[in-house]
Structure 1
Amino acid sequence: MRSPLVTITCSVFLVCLIGWLLVIGRALLLPFVIALIVWYMINALSHVFERVGAGGWRLPGYIAFPLALMTIFAVSTLVLDIVAANLAQLAQDAPTYQRRLEELFAQAAQIFDLEDTLELKDLMPESVVPRMVTAGAGLVTTLAGSASLVFIYVLFLLLEQSTFDRKFERLFRTPDQARSAFAIRAAINRSIMHYFTIKTAVSVATGVLTSLLLILIGLPYATLFGFIAFLLNYIPTIGSLIGVIFPSLLALVYYDSLPPFIAIAAGLGVIQFAIGNLIEPKLMGANLNLSGLVIMLSLAFWGAIWGVVGMVLCVPLTVMIVIVCARFESTRPVAVLLSETGDVVPETPVKTPL
């Protein structure tokens, strides 16, 4: 019988090895992970379209699937074009906003009677604002450039998805093992579908309300900030905070008075608080069953490994780990520690690994 110390040591070594492989294989894995997300979205949207109909008639699958594919492609192209155009314009205007920020520092020094005027270069390197905006534009360009590789991955996933179930079933030696594996996959699919459906709906609402508020007040780049708010809403906790800070800082240097800045900061704060703390928890319910501390640790871990993509995927990946660990007696304590209430998977756990 193996010593518990040997088991723990081997487990820690395996986790470290997997983490190391995820880091060094980031350039190869990220496009494939993005392709998996797109593939999943296409199939999910196709199922939604198949429910469209009147009476007993429903939209056929051979129409719903291409329609979902074209919808995802059209929306992605439109969003990338709008964001790229806004970032390019913001990169041109950044020096003006930087000079305005330096003027505000000078005014603050006069108000507080400071001997040495605080300058922007004291807080950050010179011309960092234009470089940050240019880096953002470069990121969008990089994503657009890797779109061809993502498209190839998605194409092969779509072509081979009809054989996935048959291959998955033949991985296991007995029908009981196969049924258990399919049950785990179904539980993971239900949780992730629930999470992404609710999260996408509230993220779209957040982005639209952010854009409308900024348009109403007259702040430029309202569409860009709406998209940023939509994207950052997928990042737990800190995403909503960053979504308020960016447009508020621009309002501070764009307007000559404080009321617009206060209105934007307060308005966006109310939107983020109402959606993130009142509406989203009601819609999400207790389906995820994740500890808040675990979510923050997962955010830090996956963010360190895969950057923004890892932050967006931290919750679904952790949900998958909890569901899989809860089905086996040897790993059930891990699922209990990661869960919010300690109640995980009412079904009888599997005694032996698949």
Structure 2
Amino acid sequence: MVDRQPYTFDRVIRILFGVVSVVGLFYLVYILRGALLPFLVAWIVAYMLNPLVVYNKRVFKLKGRVVAITLAFLEVLITISLLCVLFLPSIIDEIAHMRELLSEYVYNSSSIPFVPQAVHDFIRDNINFSELSGLLSREQWLSIIEESFSGAWGFITGSVGEIINIVSWLVVLLYIVFILLDYDRILCGFQRMIPQKYRPMLVSIGNDIEESMNRYFRGQALVAGLVGILFSIGFLIVGLPLAIVLGLFIGVLNMVPYLQLIGIIPTILLCLVSASDTGTNFWLLFGACILVFIIVQIIEDVFIVPRVMGKVTGLNPAIILLSLSIWGTLLGFVGMIIALPLTTLCLSYYQRYVIGADSVEPPDSPTDTSVSEEVQE
């Protein structure tokens, strides 16, 4: 039995002092949350850009990080511009076409074969298609642009609130640049702040978490992007309205396991509206969309995931759903994205440190597999 130290006056004072210090630290963070938020946002962005900076420095054989950081910003800007040039015109055309379909569906009383009229009545009564149509109109987008220009004019005329907002964004940008310049030094500085007694264990755990998150998140982001492109192509082939928008939306949902199934709901509504306007058989169009779901899922499971993510997590589907619920409740949508690597990591540490099962093989996880060379670069 472990001998417990007696609660002397000196020990009680130290415990109280420690509790007061922790509470005071949290209160200080709460007071300074407005000043700390730009730094936290900048740190997240810098964390995501740092691999690109390291890649530029290695490929172009640069000595300093200034040129590599500049190249990283230019590459991100060029990538976003190319995506806008390639997809934005098609998205605008699809939105305009969808607005016409919605307008026709609101006033179209014809029924679709094998679809009860009560279904149409329920949809028309519970969904405000006029408001949706207004959101998709060019006038609505023009009003948003006018509001943006009015905000810029408010900044020009000396609005204090607008000036503070602009300065905040500039501070975030400066934070990003300065963090990227001394990224490794800052990490070493954070490690030195940990007491020497706990530093090896905490640094080891932090490195494991970072490695797990890097491999899983980057690999899953690539998988989600490829899946979104495949869905967009498939929906374009079958002639579904808003094909690119819906495909990319399902790709984003694919960041969370099983969440892409939510995309079936807007798919049904789009099939219903398209069939009502064009006279296409609803069930044929819906069946073609379901076929797209099945084909993309097969391509994802057979070709994309094994080559990008390596082995599957090895977790039971019930455990996966439970981990998604727990981490989603704690951390929101971000928690659902990082639920699987955190769960596999917690199980591994539980087996290693709690029950001491060194001989028990932990479940296969992204921490045990390596992402392909293209993903790491």
TM-score interval (norm. to shorter): 0.5 to 0.7
Report the counterpart of residue 293 of structure 1 in structure 2.
Answer: 318
The reply on whether 1:210 has 2:231 as its aligned counterpart is yes
Q: Structure 2 counterpart of 1:263, which letter? A: A
Among 169, 180, 186, which residue is 2:207 paired with?
186
Matches within 5 A, 1:339-354: 341=363
The reply on whether 1:67 has 2:71 as its aligned counterpart is yes
Q: 1:155 to 1:230 in 2, by over 3 A?
A: farther
Among 135, 154, 169, which residue is 2:176 paired with?
154
Report the counterpart of residue 166 of structure 1 in structure 2.
Answer: 188
Report the counterpart of residue 6 of structure 1 in structure 2.
Answer: none
Larger radius of gyration: 2
Q: Structure 2 counterpart of 1:242, which letter? A: I
Structure 1 residues 277-316: Cα deviation after superposition (integer angstroms, max 9, x where no partner)? 6641564345856554343234334545665444334445
Deviation at 1:123, TM superposition (A): 4.1
Gaps of 5+ in 2: 6-25, 149-164, 369-377
Q: 1:261 to 1:288 in 2, by over 3 A?
A: closer
Describe the SS at the equivalent of 1:118.
helix
Structure 1 residues 1-55: Cα deviation after superposition (integer angstroms, max 9, x where no partner)? 69xxxxxxxxxxxxxxx9xx99xx99x86x77664443222112233445547xx
Q: Structure 2 counterpart of 1:39, which letter? A: A
Deviation at 1:234, TM superposition (A): 0.8
Q: 1:127 to 1:315 in 2, by over 3 A?
A: farther
Report the counterpart of residue 270 of structure 1 in structure 2.
Answer: 295
Q: Is the 8 A contact 1:105 1:118 kept in 2?
A: no
Q: Is the 8 A contact 1:248 1:261 kept in 2?
A: yes
Report the counterpart of residue 253 of structure 1 in structure 2.
Answer: 273
Q: Is the 8 A contact 1:102 1:119 kept in 2?
A: no
Report the counterpart of residue 123 of structure 2 in structure 1.
Answer: 120
Q: Is the 8 A contact 2:344 2:363 kept in 1?
A: no
Structure 1 residues 106-151: Cα deviation after superposition (integer angstroms, max 9, x where no partner)? 515x8577689734244445646458879xx99xx99xx9993764
Deviation at 1:198, TM superposition (A): 1.9
Find the aligned partners of 1:323 and 1:171 in 2 and give their Cα distance. Answer: 28
Q: Structure 2 counterpart of 1:241, which letter? A: L
Describe the SS at the equivalent of 1:257.
coil
Report the counterpart of residue 19 of structure 2 in structure 1.
Answer: none
Deviation at 1:61, TM superposition (A): 6.0
Report the counterpart of residue 15 of structure 1 in structure 2.
Answer: none
Structure 1 residues 167-226: Cα deviation after superposition (integer angstroms, max 9, x where no partner)? 22322332x643333322222222112112321222222122223233344445443234
Report the counterpart of residue 49 of structure 2 in structure 1.
Answer: 42
Q: 1:73 to 1:306 in 2, by over 3 A?
A: farther
The reply on whether 1:97 has 2:119 as its aligned counterpart is no
Find the aligned partners of 1:116 and 1:241 in 2 and give their Cα distance. Answer: 21
Q: Is the 8 A contact 1:191 1:319 kept in 2?
A: no
Report the counterpart of residue 10 of structure 2 in structure 1.
Answer: none
Find the aligned partners of 2:293 and 2:109 in 1 and give their Cα distance. Answer: 25
Report the counterpart of residue 241 of structure 1 in structure 2.
Answer: 261
Q: Is the 8 A contact 2:256 2:336 kept in 1?
A: yes
Describe the SS at the equivalent of 1:107.
coil
Q: 1:283 to 1:207 in 2, by over 3 A?
A: same
Q: Structure 1 counterpart of 2:266, which letter? A: F
Matches within 5 A, 1:15-54: 35-50=42-57, 52=59
Q: 1:91 to 1:201 in 2, by over 3 A?
A: closer
Report the counterpart of residue 160 of structure 2 in structure 1.
Answer: none
Deviation at 1:237, TM superposition (A): 1.0
Q: Structure 2 counterpart of 1:297, which letter? A: L
Question: Which stretch shifts more, 153-162 or 201-210?
Answer: 153-162
CA RMSD of aligned residues (A): 5.0
TM-score, length-normalised on structure 2?
A: 0.59
Deviation at 1:97, TM superposition (A): 3.4
Deviation at 1:267, TM superposition (A): 1.6
Q: Is the 8 A contact 2:102 2:129 kept in 1?
A: no
Find the aligned partners of 1:194 and 1:116 in 2 and give their Cα distance. Answer: 45
Does 1 or 2 have the higher relative contact order (CA < 8 Å, sep 6+)? Answer: 2
Find the aligned partners of 2:76 and 2:97 in 1 and give their Cα distance. Answer: 32
Find the aligned partners of 1:291 and 1:34 in 2 and give their Cα distance. Answer: 35
Find the aligned partners of 2:229 and 2:301 in 1 and give their Cα distance. Answer: 15
Identity %: 25
